[in-house]
Amino acid sequence: MFVFGSSLVDNGNNNFLPNSTAKADFLPYGIDFPHGPSGRFTNGKNVIDILCRLLKLPLLPIFSDPSTKGCKVVHGVNFASASSGILDDTGFVSRQVITLNQQIKNFEEVTVPELEKETGNNGSREELLSNYLFVVGTGGNDYSFNYFLRNPNVSLQAFTANLTNSLSLQLKKLYSLGARKFVLMSINPLGCYPMVKPTSEGKCIEALNQAATLFNNGLKSLIDVSNTDMPSSNLVFVNSYKIMEDIIKNPTSKGFRDADNPCCEVVPTAVFRGSGVLCKKDGNTCVDRNAHVFFDGLHPTEAVNIQIATKAFTSYLQTEVYPINVNQLAKL
């Protein structure tokens, strides 16, 4: 599995970026993770870790770690970088990120040659890579930390069309390098993040959720045209928006008690009207983390990640995964 995207799928690449402010290499992040804080933006495992377990893969190494070479790349590599987006300028608030374009470049120029060397592959790259899953989870930051922060003089529809088009070109680039199996993660209900809600019991911000829905509809439509654009490829759309929305609307039915507040003590920010984004270093956390939907002002708890990954892997509901699930995709 190769992973591209932002903090929802980042396993610690930003730990190696000296100037980045988007890091989770300190407690209480990782409080429930076997190795403690690792750069994962949650209390325990993220969606990628759980998908790896379901696919019987080891935890993926991160690209930024200098030791990620040789036999370590054979099961896959995680390239994702917190605070990055589809657009190159989206990471500006965090000072230093690895953009999606750079993530793909890192895969092409460093990891693929390393993998060819390690496997002794003399055939086509398509043969080499056709059994790997390419997971892409990005787009939310392009809205939360770009469009809605900058209020550019462009309509939401035009901005979204540009995003979808850019992502489509990035997927085609991966396809041209030999990728054939794609897992596209929807963006989550941006308007329900604690960081944007003015009060802890407040309603979700509709304008932000509408933006997310607009993008997700565009992302899903990429799958419908992929047969023409990328012959013999298979794409799966994981609707984490719907999975999370179902939990937020009726938390108790899914085993949760709090869908409004961050579990950790967050650092207040003047940028958003809500709670703040990241956990305070060595700050307090809620006791029952499995009962919370959000660990900080933006990222879900491990308990939610388990629901998203499990449904991505096993669900037969097309409202949750489309057109097939990740387990079916892996077996193709």
Token pair 């190159």 in the structure block, residue: 88
Quick check: pTM over 0.85? yes
At 7 the three-state DSSP class reads coil
Alpha carbons within 13 angstroms on the beta-carbon side of residue 234 total 16
Q: What would the pLDDT profile of 176-217 be if each residue is shown by its tens digit? A: 999 999 999 999 999 999 999 977 677 999 999 999 999 999
29: which 2 tokens? 């992040």
Q: What would the pLDDT profile of 96-151 be if each residue is shown by its tens digit? A: 999 999 999 999 999 999 999 999 987 889 999 999 999 999 999 999 999 999 88
Positions marked active-site: 7, 296, 299
The CA distances from residue 303 to 21, 43, 124, 174, 259, in Å, are 26, 9, 40, 31, 12
Other CB atoms within a 10 A radius of the CB of residue 139 amount to 32
237: which 2 tokens? 């759309």
Assess contact for 107 and 177: CB atoms under 8 A.
yes
Query: What's the CA gap between 1 and 188, in Å, rounded?
Result: 22
Q: What residue ranges define each of the domains in the chain, with the CATH number in brackets? A: 2-318 (3.40.50.1110)
